[in-house]
Amino acid sequence: MKTVLKTPVNSNQTTQTSQLIPASSTSLETPSTWMRDGYSPTEIILAIAILTSLSIGGIATVIVAITGLVKTLVPVMVRPTSEKTK
């Protein structure tokens, strides 16, 4: 005796397909626009580097000036009063 198994076919079955949708490309501004408008990342980094170096140079100049002033004034302030009048 032969037994045949039949699976019923569902006529409501649908095949789902997935579609690859390309990601929307973000518009990048050209470097010439950055340079013209003044907000280029490279330009900002260079400006920060220059300003930092100028501030460090300014601070060093002030420290040297104060050191020179102290070297000049301390010997005068340390002398005894009898030597100051001579």
Return d(Cα 86, Cα 81) in angstroms, integer: 9
- The whole-number pLDDT of residue 17 equals 61
Residue 67 Cα to chain centre, angstroms = 35
Check if the beta carbon of residue 31 is closer than 8 Å to that of residue 41: no
- The whole-number pLDDT of residue 44 equals 84
Q: Please return the burial class of 11, using the count of CB atoms within 10 Å of its CB with bins 0-12, 13-18 and 19+.
A: exposed
- The per-residue pLDDT for range 7-58, each reduced to its tens digit, is 555 566 666 666 666 666 666 666 666 667 767 787 888 889 999 999 999 9
